Structure formats: C-alpha cells, structure tokens
Amino acid sequence: MTTHPDLGFGIGLRTGHYDAILEHGTRADWFEAISENFMVGGGLPLHVLERVRNDHPLVLHGVSLSIGGSDPLDPGYLRELRLLADRFAPAWVSDHLCWTGVDAHNLHDLLPLPWTEELLAHLIPRITQVQDALGRRLVLENVSTYLSFEHSAMPEWEFLAELTRRADCDLLLDVNNVYVSAVNHGFDARAFVAGIPAERVAQIHLAGHTDHGTHLLDTHDAPVADAVWDLYRHTLGRLGRVATLIEWDGDVPPLEDVENEALRARAIADQVIPVPGTQPVDGATAAA
Amino acid sequence: MAPLPLRELQSRLRALIVDPAALASSPDALASELAALSIRGDARLSAVERVRVYATMYALRLRDALAHDYLALRRALGDAAFTDLARSYVASHPSDRPSLRDLGRHLPAFARRHPELLEPWQAELAQLEWAMVDAFDGPDQPVLSAAHLEALPPDAWPELRLEPVGSLVLLSCASPVDALREQLLAGQDVSDVAREPVRLRVWRQEMAVFHRRMDSTEAAALCRIAAGTTFAELCEWLSEHADTENAAAEALRLLGRWIDDGLLVAPQN
C-alpha cells in the first residue's frame, strides 16, 4: 500500500476553467498544475494558482524535465521549478519517465525509452540531481508509447520497480497510459499493475484516449474509457486508495464535466475500498 | 547489430520525427535506419507507422501551439496556409525552451523576413498578437497612482523620471491591425487592406491585456519616458513639438491617462 497522502480526487488546472473556478469554486478535492505554465513573471496564471492553492492541495506536474534525455539537465529549469515549488508548497512534484528532446531541441512530446541497464545507469544520477535540486523526492509517470525498442531487456513494470528502488523516487501511475501502451504493444495491462511497487505509487492519472483502429492515442480529449475505468478499479484493488486526478487537455468541456469524472473515480474507490462509516454513492453502480 | 548509445538513438529518432522528408525516403534506407534504431513493428503497426505517429503529433502539436497564440493570423491565412507557415517557422526556429508558450516568440521577425509567406500587414498582426502574449503573463508590478504624485513635493517634479510597466509595447504599424484583428476574431473576411498608419500601445492592467491607439504626441512622449527622460524634459519637448499652448497641462493630461491605464510603475520606497 502507498504511504503517500491521499489527496482525494482532483482535476488538472486548465486555462478554460479559470473563470469558473474563481467564481464558483470546485467540487474537486485538489488540483494538478502543469509546472511550465506557471514559470512566468506574473499575470493571471500565477494569480489563479495562488487562489487555488489557498483552498486546495496542489501537485506540480512537469512536461519538459526530459529525465531520460541525453542532454545535460537544464540547471535554469531546475532553479525555476524549485522556486515554484517553494512558493506553492505542492504535495509533490512530478514529471514523466521519457525524453522530450535532444541536442537542445525540445520536441514537446513524451518520447519512449529502451528499458535497459544502460538507461538505469543513465537515469539514477540524473534523478539524484533533480531530487537534490528540488529538495524533495521526484515522482515519475509512465507515458503512453507507440513504439518500443527490440533491445529493451525487461518489461516496463520491471524497469519501474528497479528504477524506483535504486533511485529512491516515486511513481505516478497513469492508468490510461498503461491501457494505451498495453493495447499498442500487446502486453497485459494487469501484469503491469501487478509488477509495479505499490508502496512507491503517490498518485494515479485517468484520462480519455482516441481509438485509431490500429492503435490508441493518448489524447486527453474525451471521457475516461470504460476499459480504463475497469483497470482503475482493478488497480485500486491492489494499491488501496491513491490520490487520483482527471486530465483533460483537448476539446476541454465545462468544469462540471471534468469534476463529474473525478466524482466517478471517487465512487469507484468508495466501492472498492469503502471508507469506514460511509456508504458507497450511487455513481459506483454506473461506473461498474 | 549492437544497440546504439542512447544519445545517438535519440538524435536519429528525432531526425525522423521532425523532418517530414525523412519518413518519405526510400523504403530500403528507411528500413535500414529503423533496424539500426531497433524499432520493432508488428501485425498491428509497422515500424514506420509507429514512428509516423510521433511525427504526425509533433507537427500538429507545434502548429496548434502557434495557432493558440496567433489566432487572428490563423484566421487571416486560413488553416492550410497557416499550417505551411507553422511548418516553415518551426523548421527555422525549433523549440529550445521548456514551455510551448515561448515557441512563437520569433514569428513576427520571421514573418518580416519572409514576404513570400505573409503580407506586410499580416506580419504586423503577428507583432500585435505576440505583444499580447508577452503582456499576458509578464511580471507583476505595483503601478503609479494619483496618490503617489500628490505626495510628491513640488520641487521633485522637474527631475521626476517615470517608468513604464514591463508589459508595455509600443507598435508603429502601416495598417490598422488592431481593427483588422477585431474583424478576424469576429469571423469577418479581411481583404484589400488599406494603408492607414496607426500607433499602438499594448500592456496589461491587473489581469487583463489591452491595446489602444495613440496619437503621434502620446507615442513620442511614451518613447521618451521609456528612454528615461525627466518630467521637465518632457514638458520642454511638448512645448516645442506638440500642438499645444500649455505644455505642462498637456503633460499632466497624458500623465493622467497613463495613470488611469496603469502604464507606469510605482516609485520604490
């Protein structure tokens, strides 16, 4: 079981929801903010983040750390991230187990890595550097992938177990990404969930994807798919209650719709792991 | 075949993702490159198709980021021409910053250098739109108020140096791009753009970004303020150049407008 604080059921903080959140508040328990969007001088983004942070737990979630990249880590980026973290006191700071660019060219994508001993040896000192720079443990997320490398020496979940043990970092388990990659590469999503170290999982992500027939694409522009809800239910059965967050980045609907996805996650969690003294809410039935 | 070192693997995979021609090279050459990268295909997707997923997303993601910041310019060009512009621009200015927010910062200059891609008024429109992006999340600063000035001793006025807020950008355009932008965002077609010089200032007041036209006197006065001129020097310049009989009154009129708009930084205590 995870030893991280259970923040409840949150949503990603997105520009299109700023007005609604400032005016009406939210039914979500907590927020996740994309770190890079708030590495700015001032204006509305930081104003909104301050307001949100006054009332809710917050997690900072980066997209450009490039922990698996082969360029040196950017010390200026780490300094800015540390300043942001010191100012807003997030529950934790996360990014992705991937590379985002090389030769000083940022592709702004979460690119796949080969699961090798060479990569482990490459990642461990980089994670240590980040954790030292931030003064806190780093949380890394599994990404959706569309290609894999023949020289990978182990499945991704074994790599994650080894990495978290040797680098002393934590995991953000993106259940949608597990499902998308499992379909795209033909592995068993439940084997992935069974193989990761439960005590390292700080957080879960849920999001929608798009079925292109030949492959699934992690688009974050739709409700969570039924198969992903099923995998989430299974995951909670193994991990227990874990802070869960809904991501929605494309064709972003009204705040209420994203909140409803978070409430559906709560209903499933209440059904799988009832909170003592409470009754599961009706939404659990709909989500089954 | 021995696996490539990580850096070489990433450099060569990047080349396939960012260059549309790379995935259109000869099948044998491409197969050889994918084998060197040890990228595996299967019955679901070939190795080429798997790389193409990333290549397609790369082009779309960066185009969409530019379209977010240059909404009126996209409407002016139409989707196809804007996509061509984005492709050329990104090839010339690949992202080297952590945030996509910075991707479009070179586009106004790129537009001026490429008249074959954009008309001059469209390059000016890009300049206006980028000034608004920059103002949106620029540094917060306390602004000068009337109370600050009322507290100023009379003998301090001549040497008073006013400082514009960091978000302020002054633009001099050959076409009325502010009005054209409004038309485009309202879904109206824009054609036969007339030459009608306008001077604009773009700035943020509290959380909102504004742009406003200026007459030549205000534009020149703001330039002088930004260059560090004193209040006495501003009055002297107005007495020589502005169409007014009372330079001090004109200076106070401008000052009042700038204070109302939150254009000036409060003095540091």
Give per-residue pLDDT as tens, A11-26: 999 999 999 999 999 9
Site of tokens 């429109």: B125
Q: How far apart are CA B172 and CA B167, in angstroms?
A: 16
Quick one: closest CA in B to A110, which residue? B54
For position A284, what pLDDT does the model report?
42
B95 and A101 within 8 Å at the Cβ level: the answer is yes
A70 and B54 within 8 Å at the Cβ level: the answer is no
Q: Based on the number of CB atoms within 10 Å of its own CB, is A49 exposed (0-12), middle (13-18) or buried (19 or more)?
A: buried
Q: How do residues A217-253 score in pLDDT, each as one tens digit?
A: 999 999 999 999 999 999 999 999 999 999 999 999 9
Q: What mean pLDDT comes out for the span A28-52?
A: 97
For position B126, what pLDDT does the model report?
98
For position B145, what pLDDT does the model report?
96
CB A62 within 8 A of CB A35: yes
Count of CA atoms in the C-beta half-sphere (13 A) of B16: 25
**Residues above pLDDT 90, as percent of chain B:** 90
The nearest CA of chain A is from the CA of B148 a distance in Å of 23
Q: What mean pLDDT comes out for the span B95-112?
A: 97
B207 and A44 within 8 Å at the Cβ level: the answer is yes
- CATH architecture entry for A9-287: Alpha-Beta Barrel (3.20)
Reply yes or no on whether the pLDDT at A279 is more than 90.
Answer: no
Sheet holding B208-214, edge to edge: B169-173, B198-205, B208-214
Classify domain B136-269 at the CATH class level. alpha beta
Residue A77 in contact with partner chain B when CB distance is under 8 A: yes
Q: What mean pLDDT comes out for the span A67-89?
A: 98
Q: How far apart are CA A265 and CA A246, in angstroms?
A: 9
Q: Residue B253 to residues A81, B14, B225, B267: CA-CA distances in angstroms?
A: 44, 57, 15, 20
- Give the pLDDT band (50/70/90) at residue B269: low
In chain A, residues with a C-beta closer than 8 Å to the C-beta of B7 are: 70, 102
- Which pair of tokens denotes residue A216? 């699934």
- Among candidates B256, B249, B34, which has minimal Cα distance to B150? B256
Q: How far apart are CA A46 and CA B151, in angstroms?
A: 32
In chain B, residues with a C-beta closer than 8 Å to the C-beta of A111 are: 10, 13, 17, 54
**Rg (alpha carbons) of chain B, rounded to whole number:** 25
B38 and A114 within 8 Å at the Cβ level: the answer is yes
Q: How do residues B118-143 score in pLDDT, each as one tens digit?
A: 999 999 999 999 999 999 999 999 99
**Residues above pLDDT 90, as percent of chain A:** 93
- What are the backbone angles phi and psi of residue B154, rounded to the nearest 5°? -55, -35
Q: How do residues B164-180 score in pLDDT, each as one tens digit?
A: 999 999 999 999 999 99
For position B25, what pLDDT does the model report?
86
In chain B, residues with a C-beta closer than 8 Å to the C-beta of A214 are: 44-45, 49
Q: How do residues B154-163 score in pLDDT, each as one tens digit?
A: 999 999 999 9
CB A245 within 8 A of CB A13: no
Q: Residue B91 to residues B22, B74, B87: CA-CA distances in angstroms?
A: 13, 18, 6
Helices (H), chain B: 6-18, 27-36, 47-69, 71-77, 79-92, 107-113, 120-136, 146-150, 177-185, 216-226, 231-241, 247-260
Residue to test with chain B: of A108, A116, A130, A252, most B Cβ within 10 A = A108
* 3-class secondary structure, A131: helix
For position A278, what pLDDT does the model report?
64
Reply yes or no on whether the pLDDT at A275 is more than 80.
Answer: no
Q: How far apart are CA A167 and CA B57, in angstroms?
A: 31
Burial A54-80 (b: 16+ CB within 10 A, else e): eebbbbbbbbbbbbbbbbebbeebbeb
The overall average pLDDT reported for chain B is 95
Q: How far apart are CA A17 and CA A9, in angstroms?
A: 17
Q: How do residues A105-143 score in pLDDT, each as one tens digit?
A: 999 999 999 999 999 999 999 999 999 999 999 999 999
B39 and A148 within 8 Å at the Cβ level: the answer is yes
Quick one: closest CA in A to B94, which residue? A105
Q: How far apart are CA A168 and CA A190, in angstroms?
A: 24
The overall average pLDDT reported for chain A is 95
Q: How do residues B31-89 score in pLDDT, each as one tens digit?
A: 999 999 999 899 999 999 999 999 999 999 999 999 999 999 999 999 999 999 999 99
Q: Establish whether this prediction's ipTM goes over 0.85.
A: yes
For position A204, what pLDDT does the model report?
98
Q: Residue A258 to residues A27, A150, A191, A208, A220: CA-CA distances in angstroms?
A: 10, 38, 29, 11, 11
For position A1, what pLDDT does the model report?
62
Reply yes or no on whether the pLDDT at A288 is more than 50.
Answer: no
**DSSP β-ladder status, A99-102 and A105-111:** antiparallel
For position A281, what pLDDT does the model report?
52
Q: What residue ranges do the domains of chain B occupy?
A: 136-269
